[in-house]
Structures are given as structure tokens and as C-alpha cells.
Copies of this chain bind each other. A is one copy, B any other.
Amino acid sequence: MTRKPTASLTDLPGEFSFIRRCFAGLAGPAALGLRDDAALFTPPHGRELVLAADAMVENVHFLPSDPPDTVGGKLLRCNLSDLAAMGAQPEGWLLTLARPPHISDEWFEAFSLGLKADQERFGLTLMGGDTTSTTGPLVLSLTIVGSVLPGQAVQRRGAQAGDGLWVTGTIGDGALGLQALLGNIPDPSGILARRYRTPEPRIGLPLYGLASAAMDVSDGLMQDAGHLARENGLSVTIRAADVPLSEAARAAGSSWLETCLTGGDDYEILMAVPPERELALQRHGALQTPHGPVSLTRIGTFDAATDSGEQPGVRVIDAAGAPMVFKRGGWSHL
């Protein structure tokens, strides 16, 4: 980790000890003890690298009152989800943080504990980073490094008309969890809040040879399905009744279905699967990963692109096959 010269010299011992106290325990071999200007990483022999970066901002993506270990864990898990969407294995991560005075050392100690637990679970280590001060909200930026066998990364492009649209896990729990934390919806078991704060990245999902295209659902199922369709010059039709909902989401009632389908924060994997490979999926209903079985549900079909007006790329139909209407640039009516 390096420091910026505009900080005063007298801040230094505190800042170096801050890095040592909070982050040295997370550093892997590539980090060179966090002493150097950069990390030194030997890529796994014969593999391609997958790299992604995501930032989280206080009051935008988390609240100061959120448990700091879950803030750390979520930051890492959102990035892990980007690796999972390409079928990549985690290797390491770098972190920069712009730290305001109102966030205590104790907050960061708990924050790093969340990161430590999750990096151990998912098999990667801290490589390096930077810490600086800010007068604004806390800004966290994480870059993740993964690897994949050459040619086996699954991308957003590759779907064809006739492919099925499949999704892992259940949709909407994260968006409902945020509403639960805002007091807008009951969450007696706490499961919705947990899904919002601790999404489950689908690391280890065997996408290669199965999915023709894939991405993770972070911006909402509707919107991300539209992205996937448009990237392939296709339309996609989602059957609303087939979208997998958790018991907790069903208990919230149908008035929350729009939130489930458009709210985002799912970190499930959305994929296109060619018809000839769908039979095996229908037989199994779940895929094995190193982190346990992951359910898979067929929720729609890709078609040749048509001019569908305001929402090119994606449409949603009800159980009777009738198109559904959307409001606020997204989902409207069920």
C-alpha cells in the first residue's frame, strides 16, 4: 500500500499501523507483506486472467449503521459474482479506500474481519491497495483477479435464438432485504436482510460447455435479461410465473413482485442455454459447486430480435401468456 504525499508526515505512523492492524492479516504471498509499491503475482500456469473492479459508497451502497463485517463481505462478494458469471476461479484482490474522519479504526477492524472470513471461504488473498483520506463519505474500491482455462470464460455474447433463459437460486430477496431494513416490509426470520447484506456469489458454477452466454444479476432481473438479449441482437421473453422466488419473497405478497424483478442486488447468474443442453438441466434441477448445490430454473426463451417498442430486448408475460406493462422505466403490473 502506498500513501499520498499530501498527507502530513505526522499522520504516517498511524496510517502505517492502521494498514498493518487491519489488513496485514489478509495479505497473501503476492502482497509482499504490503511493503512494496506493487504486488507480484505469478499467474496460474496456462490460464487466462479475469479482472473486475467495483466501488461501494457510504449512503449509496451501504449505511454507516450496517454491520461493518457485512460491508466488507458484500464488497468482496459482489466482485466474486463478476468472476462467477464468467466461470472464473478467484485468485486475489486489491483494495483502495478513501477514509473520512467519522469512520473509526474499530469499524475498519470489523470490516476487515468480514473480508478475512470471505477470502478464506472463497480461496483468495489480498494483494495490495491504497488508503487515503476524504472529507466525503467512505468510498471502497475493490479489484478482483480470477483465472480460467483458456477459451473457457463464458461471456455475455454467445446466445442464439431458441436458447433458454435460466437463472440460479431465487430472485428478489436482496431487493426485498433492503426494503426490510428500511422498515417497509416484515422480515421475521431476517433472511431477506441477510440476502441483501451477504449475497452468495455462485463461484464454481460449471458454466463452460453449458451456457452459451452469462452474466450476474446485479441491476435487476428485467434489466439484466435485457442486456443479455441486446448484446446478442436478440429479444428475450420472461415468464413471470416461472421466476424462482424464495418462501420469504412469496410471503411478502404479490405487490412486491415488481421489486423482486427490477430491484437488483441478486448476484445470481443469468444464462442462455442451447436447447440440446437443456434436457440435462431439466433432469437435474441443480448444479454442484464447491460451495454446495445451486438450483437452476428456466424462466424464459431467447428469440430473434423484434421491435418491441419501449423495452427492446426484454418482455415479460403473465401465466396466460399476455404481455405485462411496466412503469418507472421498469416493471409495472402483475
Contacts and interface: CB of A to CB of B under 8 A. Distances in A.
Interface in A8-22: 8-10, 12
For A32, A96, A265, the residue with the greatest tally of chain B CB atoms inside 10 Å of its CB is A96
A134 B262 CA distance: 22
A85 B265 contact: no
Contact of A175 (B5, B56, B128): B5
Each complex incorporates copies of this chain amounting to 2
A57 B12 contact: no
Interface stretch (A214-222, A235-243, A247-255, A291-299): A214-222
A218 B2 CA distance: 8
Which secondary structure dominates chain A's binding surface? mixed
B37 A42 contact: no
A133 interface: yes
Contacts of A286: none
A130 interface: yes
Interface in A277-293: none
A272 interface: no
Contact of A2 (B82, B88, B157, B328): B82
Nearest to A137: B136
Contacts of A127: 51
Interface stretch (A142-150, A187-195, A301-309): A142-150
A49 B42 contact: yes
A57 B98 contact: yes
Interface string A33-70: 00111111111000011111111110111000000000
Q: For the side of the interface on A, what is the size category?
A: 35 or more
Nearest to A330: B9
A57 B132 contact: yes
Contacts of A86: 36-38, 40
Contact of A220 (B5, B49, B216): B5
A57 B175 contact: no
A3 interface: yes
A312 to B, nearest CB: 12
Contact of A132 (B55, B96, B216): B55
Contacts of A143: 51, 53, 94, 96, 143
B9 A146 contact: no
A128 B49 contact: no
Interface string A102-142: 00000000000000000000000001111011111101010
A38 B52 contact: yes
Interface string A71-106: 000000000011101101000001111101000000
Contacts of A150: 42
Given A30-B51, A38-B52, A141-B141, 16 more contacts: A12-B329, A32-B156, A37-B86, A38-B146, A39-B51, A40-B86, A41-B50, A51-B128, A51-B143, A51-B145, A55-B139, A60-B132, A61-B132, A135-B136, A136-B136, A136-B137
